[in-house]
Amino acid sequence: MTRHKQDGLTMNLFDSLDAGELWQEALCPGAAVLHGYAGDGRLLLPAVHDVTTLAPFRQMVTPSGFRMSVAMSNCGSFGWLSDKSGYRYGSTDPLSGRAWPRMPDSFARLASAAAAQAGFDGFEPDACLINRYEPGARLSLHQDKDERDFSQPIVSVSLGIPAVFLFGGLSRTDPAIRVLLTHGDVVVWGGPARLRYHGVMPVKEHNHPIMGRCRINLTFRKVM
């Protein structure tokens, strides 16, 4: 574990915040948790509200026909979708038939700065998947492999009630470590870690002072 000071960009974004403890934890080569990097989320939450007013949270169906316990929305040029025909990215929201809401500048700046902090310069996400977990919701082990260029990292921002993140290996049966993600934590992974299996354990009952009984995760990708 190494501790880092806030870099210039982060100080500009969050200089008025009394951020919690900020420290960087390496999970393996290519993956790190930037604990507290998103501060108290006060720049992000109004933007999450704006996006999900235009593109409401919905529980998608997996290709095998199960309704996901996590509710999802998207912003940016591309949105992640699951339905009976499979997983894919699409440029329109099937609920509205319109383009996904544009990615708020505060989202793109945070994702790019976090990626650089973790050693991935020049990350410019074109997709942000917004996941909403209520107690009991979970995400089973999966790889993120629907993107074109695996040299680009993924940046994941956690807000609200805590969740245990499962972080495995390159094979589904490899043992997984458990990482507690709390409000403001950012996970960055890429390089040799890009295709590791991962998931989220069923979220336990908690109440967050700002978010209530809810966890929001923003996952940033470069799809095209």
**How far apart are CB 200 and Fe ion at their closest, in Å?**
9
Give, rounded to a whole angstrom, the gap between the first and last alpha carbons of the chain. 33
Dist. CA 45–CA 201, nearest whole Å: 24
Dist. CA 222–CA 214, nearest whole Å: 26
Contact criterion met (CB below 8 Å) for 186 and 155? yes
Q: Is 147 in the site for Fe ion (CB under 5 A)?
A: no
* Binding string, residues 160-179; x marks residues near ligand MD6 by CB under 6 A: -----x--------------
Parallel, antiparallel or unpaired: strands 86-90 and 177-181 = unpaired
User: Which CB sits closer to ligand MD6, 9 or 164?
Assistant: 164
Q: Is 144 in the site for ligand MD6 (CB under 6 A)?
A: yes
User: Which CB sits closer to ligand MD6, 54 or 201?
Assistant: 201
Q: Is 131 in the site for ligand MD6 (CB under 6 A)?
A: yes
Which residues partner with 57 through β-bridges? none
User: Which CB sits closer to ligand MD6, 98 or 212?
Assistant: 212
User: Which CB sits closer to Fe ion, 47 or 154?
Assistant: 154
Specify whether the backbone of 65 is left (phi greater than 0), alpha (psi in -120 to 50) or beta. left
**How far apart are CB 97 and ligand MD6 at their closest, in Å?**
27
What counts of helices (H) and strands (E) characterise the chain? Answer: 3, 13
User: Which CB sits closer to ligand MD6, 37 or 189?
Assistant: 189
For residue 192 the two structure tokens come to: 């040799």
* Nearest alpha carbon to residue 181 among 158, 201, 156: 158
**How far apart are CB 85 and Fe ion at their closest, in Å?**
20
User: Which residues, in sequence order, are CB contacts of 131 under 8 Å at separation 6+?
Assistant: 70, 71, 72, 139, 216, 217, 218, 219
Residues from 61 through 100 that contact ligand MD6 (CB under 6 A): none
User: Which CB sits closer to ligand MD6, 5 or 145?
Assistant: 145
Cβ-closest position to Fe ion:
144
Q: Is 152 in the site for ligand MD6 (CB under 6 A)?
A: no
**How far apart are CB 38 and ligand MD6 at their closest, in Å?**
13
Candidates 144, 158, 203, 223; binder of Fe ion (CB under 5 A) is 144
Give contact residues for Fe ion (rule: CB under 5 A). 144
